[in-house]
Amino acid sequence: MDIHSIRKEFPILKQKNRGKDLIYFDTAATSLKPISVIEAESKFYKEYGGSVHRSVYELGEKATNAFEGSRKKIAHFIGANDPASIVFTKGATESINLVADAWGFQNLNKNDTILITNMEHHSNIVPWQIISEKTGATVKYIESTENGTINVEELENHLNTNVKILAMTHTSNVFGTVNPVKEIIEKAHQHGTLVLLDGCQSTPHIKINVEELDCDFFAFSGHKMLGPTGIGILYGKKDILENMAPYQTGGGMIEDVTMEKSTWTSIPHKFEAGSPFSAQAISLGYAIDFLNQIGDDHIETQKKLTLHALEQLNDINGITIYGNASERIPIISFNVKNIHSLDIAQFLDFEGITLRSGHHCCKPLMNSLGISSCARVSFYVYNTIEEIDIFIEKLNKSIKTILKD
């Protein structure tokens, strides 16, 4: 599909933003949705209706088949051999909380270390702080390098047999840089350390193969990769998931319940208590169909967009761009000297351009960088070089106007 055909699939692109043509540069927060995904969700309510895994009637069976079919598509998309290792959650945040709480409570004690990095999103910091309070384990941080990645040698200095888990982001939602996770996982495993990868920003942009990466857990959200809100995935190695206690309990996850006690069903359902997010899980499968349909070329196209944007941004006087590793996804964060990032975001909003300003839920990283906020643009399959050129023109205009005031 060429870019014009792709853009036609996104009805929201016909909308105006503050009366101007919409230029959507905030995919890292949440992506736009193609019509096939929007319609899949409404089709579920119009045509299937029935409750997943609970109904013998035809509509219920249709819903169950579509739900489990989507699990298979997701497994295939991230290179997982067995759909049983794919757990539906409501997002990356819940996936990480699941591991921290269920695995952490069972496996951590006061002699243990949880290793994370200074570039983590709060979703991959706070759950570990909470479980460290409950178990006595210590949370330690690895600092990122100047170019915005985690250095393998530096990481090795932190590894020892007390480090029970390394929880780190595959790609940073601020720097846009890709961490050398394959090498990192290999090193961690040499010390018996499990690795959880936060794939929230990588899954939309990089071909993922969890089996090749050999990560123990992989967490991501559907809404950043063309899917609906309210659905996410936790991949876990089967033997690890099988040995974990459930995270939440209730209907759908039991094998047997008596007045005295309960036993659990097998994975992945053991981790999916309650009536599942059926419409959302099914529509995420349609998002994957869309990404498969446009093929891996879109990854290269976005690299070109990012390089084009970086080249032009680097020419702006007083700009600081955070993170300059060669391996990166289409996320660029920056500040301009003597201007608050919020002013830039607000000025550009009135030009139809949506970008995010703030701490991006990475307050420890902001502290390490000595800033409180930055502006961020992020691109996806629907963005064009022309949009980037308009953005650069309007950014230059905003800088002139703000500094003059």
Closest CA to 285 of 34, 95, 7: 34
Active site residue 215: no
The stretch near ligand C6P (CB under 6 A) out of 198-206, 255-263, 282-290, 392-400 is 198-206
Closest CA to 103 of 243, 255, 283, 262: 243
Contact 280/222 with Cβ under 8 angstroms? yes
3-state class (DSSP) for residue 178: strand
64, 97, 117, 123: residue in contact with ligand C6P (rule CB under 6 A): 123
Q: What CA–CA distances, in Å, run from 208 to 31, 75, 77, 199?
A: 18, 10, 7, 9
CB of 92 to ligand C6P, least distance (A): 4
Chain-centroid distance, C-alpha 23: 22
CB of 24 to ligand C6P, least distance (A): 13
6, 22, 23, 28: residue in contact with ligand C6P (rule CB under 6 A): 28
Residue 280 binding ligand C6P, by CB under 6 A: no
Q: Write out the H or E segment, with its range, that includes residue 115.
A: strand 113-117
Whether the ω angle into residue 268 lies within 30 degrees of 0, i.e. cis, is: yes
Residue 198 binding ligand C6P, by CB under 6 A: yes
From residue 152 to residue 191, what is the string marking binding to ligand C6P with x (rule CB under 6 A)? -----------------x---x------------------
- The single-letter DSSP state of residue 26 is B
Name the β-bridge partners of 357: 375
Which one of the listed residues 215, 361, 362, 374 is annotated catalytic? Answer: 361
Residue 126 binding ligand C6P, by CB under 6 A: no
CB of 338 to ligand C6P, least distance (A): 25
The stretch near ligand C6P (CB under 6 A) out of 117-125, 127-135, 243-251, 280-288 is 117-125
Q: Write out the H or E segment, with its range, that includes residue 121.
A: none
Residue 299 binding ligand C6P, by CB under 6 A: no
The stretch near ligand C6P (CB under 6 A) out of 64-72, 90-98, 276-284, 341-349 is 90-98
33, 121, 237, 270: residue in contact with ligand C6P (rule CB under 6 A): 121
CA–CA separation, 345 vs 343, rounded Å?
5
CA–CA separation, 164 vs 193, rounded Å?
5
Residue 332 binding ligand C6P, by CB under 6 A: no
Measure the N-to-C terminal CA separation of the chain; round to a whole number of Å: 45
Contact 5/363 with Cβ under 8 angstroms? no
3, 12, 29, 339: residue in contact with ligand C6P (rule CB under 6 A): 29
Identity at 386, one-letter amino acid code? E
CA–CA separation, 81 vs 211, rounded Å?
8
CB of 367 to ligand C6P, least distance (A): 17
52, 92, 305, 388: residue in contact with ligand C6P (rule CB under 6 A): 92
Name the β-bridge partners of 116: 141
CB nearer to ligand C6P: pick between 265 and 354? 354
Residue 117 binding ligand C6P, by CB under 6 A: no
3-state class (DSSP) for residue 221: strand
CB of 175 to ligand C6P, least distance (A): 11
Phi/psi at 369 (nearest 5 deg)? -85, -10
CB nearer to ligand C6P: pick between 205 and 360? 360
Contact 301/6 with Cβ under 8 angstroms? no
CB of 225 to ligand C6P, least distance (A): 10
CB of 329 to ligand C6P, least distance (A): 11
Paired tokens of 338:
């003597």
- Using CB under 6 A, count the residues that bind ligand C6P: 17
Contact 397/320 with Cβ under 8 angstroms? no
Residue with tokens 């002699």: 111
CB of 295 to ligand C6P, least distance (A): 25
Residue 148 binding ligand C6P, by CB under 6 A: no
Site for ligand C6P in 203-262 (CB under 6 A): 221
10, 32, 87, 91: residue in contact with ligand C6P (rule CB under 6 A): 91
Which amino acids are annotated catalytic?
361
Binding site residues, ligand C6P, CB under 6 A = 28-29, 91-93, 121, 123-124, 169, 173, 198, 200-201, 221, 356, 360-361
